[in-house]
Structure 1
Amino acid sequence: MEDIAALIGSARATLYYHFSGRDDLVAFLLEEHLRVAANTIALAVTTTQSPAAQLRSAITALVGFLGGQPGVCAGMLSFAGATGRLGTLMAAKDANLTEPLRKLLDQGAATHHFTINDSRDAANAILGAALIATLTRWEDGRATQDPEFQQALTDQLVRSVARA
């Protein structure tokens, strides 16, 4: 907590006023990270577009968000697993990211733009694929913000649910 306080230019006591300890602070940061990701996606989606165009916009925003901070994503996942907060992380992920994608997928399925069996499974597959592809590229030392990579990943994820 002392290092964090120094990093943000605050007294350690101030951090303890708001957070019970390191785990509480990191849990807050994790939820904030998911909230920002959800806002990034929401801002990218325009309801005047077709469900397919909305999904493409949402995935493009997601891939860009993940590519912009893969180390934070990896660290947050590691923290959640190590502290037994994976369930909390998954619940926050469902509320902030899965639900909006599910709505788009359900709309697209209803209008015959997408072919899916279960929108929750499809949304989680999209989220998981985007995260794993980005983290693997980052771990390999390759650019996660490379426009060609992000475009190819977005295209692949959209094709995974598009009606042929």
Structure 2
Amino acid sequence: MRHEKVDMIFQAAVEVFAESGFDQAKMDDIAQKAGVAKGTIYYHFKSKEELFAGLINEGIEKLIEYADRYIESTEEPVAKFRHLIKAHVLFFIHHAKLAKLLLNEAFGTKERQRHFRGKIREYITLIEKVLIEGKEKGDFNINHTLETASAIFGAASVIVLQKLYHAEDHEVAEMEKDLPAILETLEALLIKGIVDVTKL
């Protein structure tokens, strides 16, 4: 079982990294916000880089678990794909600072980029699995499942991030009201682009 202080450190680190960026973030500030000694952070993480990598792991694993819960409720590929898109958008809205942090800072150093790409690939594999299932059942008309899964991840991420970047902190909590418009747009771009029209 993971130590509860690690959760406190992660929560504080998301706040500090989001406010200051990776380079300007200080372990002292993270420790203060987490309510722990700086030595406690170094007990669990050898460096700021390792702490950030831990955040990436945590964030992507939460995203995968969140999406899994949504898609397991149906066996029908088109419905499963719709659930996946909705889960992706809702996760980014509900974890706004983490979402921005992942997609901003993970493209920093080569090491962070490599680690980020590896973790994102796990999530893209989940998307691709849904696409392959739909293709095998004849519901999806696609040739390149991996490239399509990557494009879906990018499109669904960017449309939410665009909203997040233009929203004040107090407005992020109200972003669910934009959910119908976001999902309608993504459906027009993504679902109708890959689904056999006879299946809609």
TM-score computed with the length of structure 2 as normaliser: 0.75
Over aligned residue pairs, what C-alpha RMSD do you find?
A: 1.8
- Please say if 1:3 is aligned against 2:36: no
Q: After the TM superposition, which segments of 4 or more aligned residues of structure 1 sit over 3 Å from their partners? A: none
Indicate the structure (1 or 2) with the bigger Cα radius of gyration: 2
- Please say if 1:128 is aligned against 2:151: no
TM-score computed with the length of structure 1 as normaliser: 0.90
Fraction of identical pairs, as percent: 26
Do the aligned partners of 1:60 and 1:150 also contact (CA within 8 Å) in 2? no
Structure 2 gaps, min length 5: 1-26
Query: Cα distance, 1:47 vs. partner?
Result: 6.1
- Which residue is equivalent to 1:152? 184
Q: How many residues align?
A: 163
In 2, distance between residues paired with 1:118 and 1:55?
16
- Please say if 1:45 is aligned against 2:77: no
In 1, distance between residues paired with 2:102 and 2:134?
31
- Please say if 1:12 is aligned against 2:38: yes
Query: Cα distance, 1:101 vs. partner?
Result: 1.1
In 2, distance between residues paired with 1:149 and 1:69?
19
The 5 A counterparts of 1:1-164 are: 1-46=27-72, 48-84=74-110, 85-95=112-122, 97-141=123-167, 144-145=175-176, 146-156=178-188, 157-164=190-197
Structure 1 gaps, min length 5: none
Do the aligned partners of 2:159 and 2:182 also contact (CA within 8 Å) in 1? no
Query: Cα distance, 1:139 vs. partner?
Result: 2.0
Larger relative contact order (C-alpha < 8 A, sep ≥ 6)?
1
Residues 25-79 of structure 1, C-alpha deviations (whole Å, 9 max, x = no match) = 1110111000000000000012642111111111110111112233322222222
Matching residue's letter, 1:161: I
